[in-house]
Amino acid sequence: MDITPAGTPALLRTLNARAVLDALAAGARLARPDLVAATGLSKTTVAQTLRALEGTGVVTEAGLDRDRRGPAATLYRIDPDYAFGLGVDVARDRVRVALVDVTGAVRARAERRDVKATPTARARAAAELARACVSDVEARLPEGTRVEVTRAVAAVPAIVGPDHVTIRRVPGFEKGGTELHDALVDALGCPVTLENDVNLAALAEQRDGVAAGVRSFVVLGLGDGFGAGLVLDGRLHRGAAGGAGEVSFLPHPGRSLGAETLGATSLAAIAKENGLRDAVSVQEIVDRAENGDVASGDVLDEVAERIAVVAASVALVVEPELFVLTNQAAREPIAGRVRRFLTEKLAVLPVQVVPSELTCDAVVVGAARSASDALRDEVFRAAAAHPGEPDTAAAHPGEPDTAAVPDEREEAAS
C-alpha cells in the first residue's frame, strides 16, 4: 500500500511562506484577514508566517487600514528593495542583462554588442552592464541605499548539464566545460546558474507570455540557431542530461540522418542556394522578405517548412496544447508561412502555432524571472529556519500552529 509521507514542519513553513509571499506580490498591501482569505491558511498560521517573513526583512508593515469595520488593521507589503538578482542573456552577438527584484519586477536593463566570443570577455561585459543597471536603480532610491546582486541566471545557446554549471555541447560557441560559468562567477561576484536560452524563453512564455495557463506547450526559437523548450504538465522538461529540445538535428525528409535541420550551417547553405551571401543573418532575411525581396522569401519558404516538420514530429511524440514561435520565428514572414504549411500539408495533426508577444525579450525575461525565483527560494528557506512566534491574539482554540491547508471553519465563516 502506498503511503503519502507527512510533511516536515520546515516544509510546511516553507509552503506557508510561499503562499503568503505570492499573495503579497505585485505591490499589494494586505492585512491579515486579506491574507487568510487569499491563502486559505488559518489566522494563526498567517500571523506566524508574517512574523517569520518580517524577521527576514522581505515583508514590512505598510501602515494601517482604517476603512474596514472594527479596529484598524496593520497592512503588510513586500519590500521590493530587499534583494536583487540578475538575468543575463549571453548570445552569440551580444550580452544583455536585466536587474530584477524579489517581486519579479525588472528594474533596469542594458545591452552591449560586439563582445568578443570568449568566456572572459562575455563575463566582463555582463559585469559592466550589471554595474550600469545597479547605478541606475540606486540613483532612484533614497540616498545611501545600496543595491547588491546576490544571484544571477545566465542564458546560453547551448546544452547545459544538470549541474547548471557545465556546458555540455556547444557547436559554434564555447568548447564546453565550466569556463563560462567560472568567469561569470568571478566577474559578477555572486552565485551563477546557467540554463539553455530556449528553456528560459519557455519559462518566460509560461509566466508572462502567450502560454500563460497552458499546461503543456513547446517553444520553437530561431535566431542564429534553432531549438525548443518543452513545458510538460506545467514543468520545464530538460531531459536526463539537459539535452531535451535540441531539435535542430531531428531527421528531415531528403536529408541524411544526423544532418543539421536548422542552424547556422544549414541557414547559410539555404541562403547560398537562393543567391544570398553566406554571412546574411536570419533577421536580415526576414527584413528583406518584409520588403518584398523574392530570394529572401524563397529562403523563408524552406525555413518555415523545416520548422513545421519539426513541430509535427514533436507533436507526434508529446502532443502539446500549443507551439510558441519566438525570436525571429515569431515574425509574420516566418510564422505565417509555418501556419500555412501546417494547414495545407499536415492538417490532420492537432498542431496549434502562435507567435510570441515577447519576441526577442523572451530569453532575458526568462533569465530575470528565474533569478527572482531563486531570491524568493532563499527567503522561503530563511523563513522556514526561523519560524515566527505564536500570535495569541490572532489564534483560535484548537487551530493548528502550522497548516498548509485551508481552515474549514474560517472558510465557512467567510
Of 108-122, 166-180, 282-296, minimum mean pLDDT range: 166-180
Q: Is the pLDDT of residue 337 over 80?
A: yes
CB 231 within 8 A of CB 207: no
Judged against a pLDDT cut of 50, whether residue 197 lies above it is answered with yes
Using one digit for the tens of pLDDT, what is the confidence trace for 300-310?
999 999 999 99
- Per-residue pLDDT band for 401 (boundaries 50, 70, 90) equals very low
Model pLDDT, residue 413: 37
Q: Do domains 9-79+396-413 and 212-357 have the same CATH topology?
A: no
CA atoms within 13 A on the CB side of 278: 3
Contact assessment for residue 206 and residue 366, using Cβ atoms and an 8 Å cutoff: no
Predicted local confidence at residue 402, as pLDDT = 36
Sorted by where each begins, the domain ranges of the chain are 9-79+396-413, 84-200+363-374, 212-357
Q: Has residue 373 got a pLDDT over 80?
A: yes
- The whole-number pLDDT of residue 13 equals 83
pLDDT digits (tens, 9 = 90+) for 201-235: 999 999 999 999 999 999 999 988 899 999 999 99
Predicted confidence (pLDDT) at residue 406 exceeds the cutoff of 50: no
**Over the chain, what is the mean pLDDT?**
86
* Residue 396 confidence (pLDDT) above 50: no
As a whole number, mean pLDDT of residues 363-373 equals: 95
CATH architecture, range 9-79+396-413: Orthogonal Bundle (1.10)
pLDDT tens, residue by residue, 64-81: 887 777 778 899 999 889
| Residue 237 scores a pLDDT above 80 | yes
Supply the pLDDT for residue 73: 85
Q: What pLDDT shows up at residue 5?
A: 54
Q: What is the pLDDT of residue 334?
A: 96
CA distances from 116 to 111, 123, 168, 195 (A): 14, 10, 21, 21
Q: Are the beta carbons of 119 and 180 closer than 8 angstroms?
A: yes
Could you tell me the pTM of the whole model?
0.85
pLDDT score, position 408:
33
Distance of alpha carbon 398 from alpha carbon 404, whole angstroms? 16
Architecture of the domain defined by 84-200+363-374: 2-Layer Sandwich (3.30)
Q: Which fold has domain 212-357?
A: Nucleotidyltransferase; domain 5 (3.30.420)
The pLDDT tens digits of the residues spanning 12-52 come to: 888 888 888 888 886 678 899 889 998 899 999 999 999 99
Q: What is the rounded distance in angstroms from the CA atom of residue 123 to the CA atom of residue 192?
A: 11
